[in-house]
């Protein structure tokens, strides 16, 4: 992060079971919300992609099939940035383990973290409140004034 | 549901549609791998795909590598600007052969073999 | 209600500050979600209207300017119904006070509760969990199979 | 922002747009009451209104009653099917005079006075 977030204004939180078949619903909902916030189509697609990748990683790596739970996607803003938090309630993950791979090695998988860092301006993995769960905090500059 | 497989010009044309994500990637994967076992070159028509993410890309990469192992080609057809952006992000826009439309894919692919 | 809800499957929850200027965002988000669920345009507009009216009433009657808080709109489904809960965290309201007026008396206001009961098949006002806040539970038959 | 007021055919035409809800109803209300004080008949063009709820309806009812007190008419123009549904739910579809388009509103309203 380039600095602490001040003047943060909460917009909307989405909470849903960490299941792949919920993502289409979540994407449509986020598209709707991002549209209202004034992002253009291409930016909205990119924001939705980053959030989807973050949620997928929670489903595939934070939760297990036996121990699953909810995901919370929260959107807020400052004068200059859209702030996205993807929160899970899984055991705390070691952030140093979350790493992108060498992309010149062509093989299936291993793209999510790379996408997220490319699409967002700041990306930070944090432990959840009270040490429970994980928060992926991402921000992106707003192209337009809200 | 939103997928279609047909034979056209001696090739297996797979038309995908909708959103190819973690939920739908497994079915796309098996559909493509299934096509490849038929031994004909594969063209994947993405014109009706409104969303694709890393899971969808993974299915396509696996299919590409399986095709190449089986000595056949796999090309992508009619990618939307947003889907192309995802391939670019993945540094795979040069790895896949991408045709603007099915006509171009049929002509070029045949010329390649001639 | 015509009976207890069984086999309820959670779809999505939206949480946001009880502020009028958040409703456009919330409506877009719900439209997106309802679209994914397969309702047609007209039904989506009706569902969105009922939810908006419920949220407005929370803003105008449950919370006060000095004591405001969040609203949670949760969507879930059974095989036959879409289930909507609008939850607030305000002091508990006496449900018998929530009443529609005589519509033949033409005057501004007093339409929200009437709209909600017309647009939904079942409508129930319940105290929140642990006696905190209020829940408006509404259900509507799904026209299409999900 | 999404509102426009203009004089046309001796009437005050108010064009509303977007979503008229609890957030925007107060500004619509004062815009309409302001028009009414000018003493000319008012036509409210709703063609660009994508959403209206009880708050928006309340502003229109208040304007209608104020117009009638001031001896002028207030008509609604080009209501979308969904907006009409909201007026029907409110049992107000017969209380307001509703014109299919601005032309019809101009002709009929003039004929009424002649
Ligand atoms: N939410 C997460 N929880 C735990 N580990 C994660 C999470 N996200 C990513 N990782 C780790 O980072 C690696 C890279 O993730 P990614 O780039 O999305 O590729 P892939 O998930 O296909 O391996 C994963 O293999 C995993 O070890
Ligand atoms: N969420 C709520 N909390 C408390 N009282 C409510 C709530 N919703 C409705 N009411 C009561 O029911 C009445 C009718 O509501 P409504 O039909 O929406 O019209 P209006 O809000 O314009 O009065 C309100 O005046 C209020 O007294």
Q: How far apart are the CA of A98 and the centre of ligand 1, in A?
A: 5
The reply to whether residue C45 touches residue D21, judged by beta carbons under 8 angstroms, is no
Determine the Cα–Cα distance for residues D95 and D88; give it in Å rounded to an integer: 10
A58, two tokens? 């929670």
Give the tokens for residue C36: 């994914």
Strand order in the sheet with A134-141: A122-127, A134-141, A81-88, A70-77, A9-17, C9-17, C70-77, C81-88, C134-141, C122-127
Ligand 2 center–CA A133 separation, angstroms: 39
Cβ-defined contact of B21 to A118 (cutoff 8 Å)? no
Q: Whose CA is nearest to atom 21 of ligand 2?
A: C110
pLDDT (average), residues D62-67: 98
What is the overall mean pLDDT for chain D?
Answer: 93
Asked whether C58 lines ligand 2 (CB < 6 A), one says yes
Q: Do chains D and C touch, with touching meaning 3 or more CB–CB pairs less than 8 Å apart?
A: yes
Distance in angstroms (rounded) separating the CA atoms of residues B54 and B99: 21
Which pairs with CB-CB distance under 8 Å and at least 24 residues apart come from B23-30? B23/A20, B23/A21, B23/A23, B23/A24, B24/B56, B25/B55, B25/B56, B25/B58, B25/B59, B26/B59, B27/B3, B28/B3, B28/B56, B28/B59, B28/B60, B29/B58, B29/B59, B29/B62, B29/B63
In the block, tokens 């033409």 appear at C106
Return the closest-CA partner of residue A37 out of C49, C30, C13, C21: C21
Residue B111 — very low, low, confident or very high, per pLDDT cuts 50/70/90? low
pLDDT (mean) for D46-63: 97
Higher pLDDT, D69 or D1: D69
- pLDDT for D17 beyond 50: yes
- How many angstroms separate the CA atoms of C20 and A10, rounded? 14
Place of tokens 């969507």: C75
Mean pLDDT, rounded, for C131-135: 94
Q: Is there an interface between A and C (3+ Cβ pairs < 8 A)?
A: yes
Q: What is the pLDDT of residue D113?
A: 52
User: Are residues C25 and A12, on separate chains, in Cβ contact within 8 Å?
Assistant: yes
DSSP string, B90-101: TT-TTTSEEESS
| pLDDT-derived band at C34, boundaries 50, 70, 90 | confident
- Ramachandran assignment for C133, one of left (phi > 0), alpha (psi -120 to 50 degrees), beta (any other): left
Q: Can you say how many angstroms the Cα of residue D84 is from the centroid of all Cα atoms in its chain?
A: 12
pLDDT in tens, B50-107: 999 999 999 999 999 999 999 999 999 999 999 999 999 999 999 999 999 999 999 8
Query: Using CB atoms, which chains have 3+ pairs under 8 A with D?
Result: C
Is residue D112 predicted with pLDDT exceeding 90? no
Distance from C-alpha of C16 to C-alpha of C73, rounded to nearest angstrom? 9
The rounded percent of chain A whose pLDDT value lies above 90 is 77
Beta strands (DSSP E) in chain A are: 9-17, 70-77, 81-88, 122-127, 134-141
Which of ligand 1's atoms lies nearest the C-alpha of A136? Answer: 1
| Cα A109 to middle of ligand 1, angstroms | 10
Judge: B54–A59 Cβ closer than 8 Å, yes or no.
Answer: no
Chain-centroid distance of CA A70 in Å reads 14
Q: Return the bridge partners of A140, or none.
A: A82
Contacts of D69 in chain C (CB under 8 A): none
Q: Which ligand is nearest to the CA of A94?
A: 1
pLDDT, average across residues C60-77: 95
pLDDT at B1: 55
| Confidence band of C146 (pLDDT split at 50, 70, 90) | very low
Instruction: Report whether D38 contacts D12 (CB < 8 A).
Output: yes
Match 């529609």 to its residue by tokens.
C100
The answer to whether the beta carbons of residues D100 and D78 sit under 8 Å apart is yes
Is the minimum distance from the CB of A133 to ligand 1 under 6 angstroms? no
Using the Cα atoms of residue C51, residue C54, residue C57 and residue C61 in order, give the sign of their dihedral. Answer: negative
Distance separating alpha carbons of residues C112 and C64, to the nearest angstrom: 18
Closest Cα of chain A to C16: distance in Å?
Answer: 5
Question: Which atom number of ligand 2 is nearest to the Cα of residue C112?
Answer: 18
Q: How is residue D106 annotated by DSSP?
A: H
Q: Is the dihedral angle over the CA atoms C45, C48, C52, C53 positive or is it negative?
A: positive
User: What percent of chain B clears pLDDT 90, i.e. is strictly above it?
Assistant: 90
Query: What average pLDDT does range C11-20 have in this prediction?
Result: 96
pLDDT at C3: 64
Average pLDDT over residues B31-42: 95
Q: With bands split at pLDDT 50, 70 and 90, how would you rate the model's confidence at D88? A: very high
The pLDDT assigned to A3 comes to: 64
**pLDDT of res. A128:** 94
Other C-beta atoms lying within 10 Å of the C-beta of residue D49: 22
Confidence (pLDDT) at D59:
98
The Cα of A123 is separated from the nearest Cα of chain C by a number of Å equal to 23
Residue A103 Cα, gap to closest chain C Cα (Å): 34
**Mean pLDDT of the region D80-107:** 96
Nearest CA in chain C to D53: C49
Which residue in the block uniquely carries the two structure tokens 């907006």?
A: D83
Find the closest chain C residue to D63 by CA distance: C108
The dihedral built from the CA positions of residue D22, D26, D31 and D32, taken in this order, carries a sign that is positive
B19 touches chain A (CB under 8 A): yes
Helix or strand holding residue C29 (H, E): helix C23-37
Average pLDDT of adjacent 10-residue blocks, chain A of 146 residues: 76 96 92 79 95 98 94 94 96 93 92 97 95 96 66
Give the model's confidence band at C110: pLDDT under 50 very low, under 70 low, under 90 confident, else very high. Answer: very high
What percentage of chain D reaches a pLDDT higher than 90? 90
Residues C21, D23: C-beta atoms closer than 8 Å = yes
pLDDT at position D114 is 41
| pLDDT value for A34 | 81
Show which of residues 34-63 on chain A sit within 8 Å of chain C, judged by CB atoms: 35-37
Q: Is D74 helix (H, G, I), strand (E, B) or coil?
A: strand
Residues of D in contact with C109 (CB under 8 A): 54, 58
Tell me how far the alpha carbon of residue C114 lies from the centroid of ligand 2, in angstroms.
10
CA dihedral (B90, B91, B95, B98) in degrees, to 10, reads 80
């Amino acid at each position: 992060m380039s600095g602490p977030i001040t003047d943060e204004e909460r917009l909307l939180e989405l909470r849903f079971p960490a299941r792949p078949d919920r993502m289409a619903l979540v994407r449509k909902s986020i598209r709707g919300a991002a549209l209202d916030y004034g992002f253009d189509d291409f930016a909205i697609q990119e924001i939705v992609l980053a959030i989807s990748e973050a949620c997928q990683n929670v489903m595939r790596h934070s939760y297990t099939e036996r121990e699953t739970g909810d995901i919370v996607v929260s959107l807020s803003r400052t004068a200059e940035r859209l702030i996205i938090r993807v929160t899970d309630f899984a055991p705390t993950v070691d952030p140093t383990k979350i790493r992108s791979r060498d992309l010149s090695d062509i093989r299936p998988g291993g793209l999510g973290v790379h996408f997220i860092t490319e699409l967002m301006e700041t990306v930070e993995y944090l432990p959840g409140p009270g040490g429970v769960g994980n928060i992926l905090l991402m921000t992106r500059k707003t192209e337009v004034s809200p | 549901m939103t997928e279609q497989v047909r034979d056209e010009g001696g090739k297996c044309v797979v038309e995908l549609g909708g959103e190819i994500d973690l939920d739908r990637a497994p079915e796309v994967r098996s559909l493509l791998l299934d096509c490849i076992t038929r031994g004909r070159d594969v063209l994947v028509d993405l014109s009706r795909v409104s969303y694709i993410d890393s899971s969808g890309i993974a299915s396509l990469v696996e299919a590409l590598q399986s095709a190449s192992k089986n000595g056949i080609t796999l090309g992508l057809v009619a990618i939307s600007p947003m889907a192309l952006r995802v391939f670019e992000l993945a540094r795979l826009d040069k790895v896949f052969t991408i045709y603007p439309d099915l006509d171009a894919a049929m002509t070029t692919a045949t010329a390649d073999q001639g």
